[in-house]
Amino acid sequence: MRRAIVEPAQAHCEFAMTSRRIIPDRAEFIDALRLLRRGHILVRASHEPGGCLLDGGIVYHSYPTLLAYGLIDEFHNPRGFPHAQYFRISERGREFADRACQAWQQRPLLQRMAVRLTG
């Protein structure tokens, strides 16, 4: 029985076409990292889309990625609402945010604007 040989570039293209984007909205993601790095708290008020808040704004897409990659840690907030979850940036998240925010600022302004418009 012969096995097909798949070139690495072809395998990558097939994977890229079938997989979802890790960061659906890159501008929202970098904004969330920047705010978390400054000490702001992410509040998950519900499991519905748009149920996360950060500095008064709704976080639509970034919460699952932040959690899945260990960039945020949940903590108990005794003064918070009973059914809300509270998250702050983790040590790993702080290191990642430092690098990501620096890389974001090094991109040309027009490129950053395009990312904000397209996700």
Domain boundaries defined on the chain: 23-118
Domain boundaries 23-118, CATH class: mainly alpha
What mean pLDDT is predicted for residues 84-99? 96
Greater pLDDT, 22 or 65: 65
At 6, is the pLDDT very low, low, confident or very high (cuts 50, 70, 90)? very low
Q: What is the pTM of this model?
A: 0.75
pLDDT of residue 2: 46
58's tokens: 């709704």
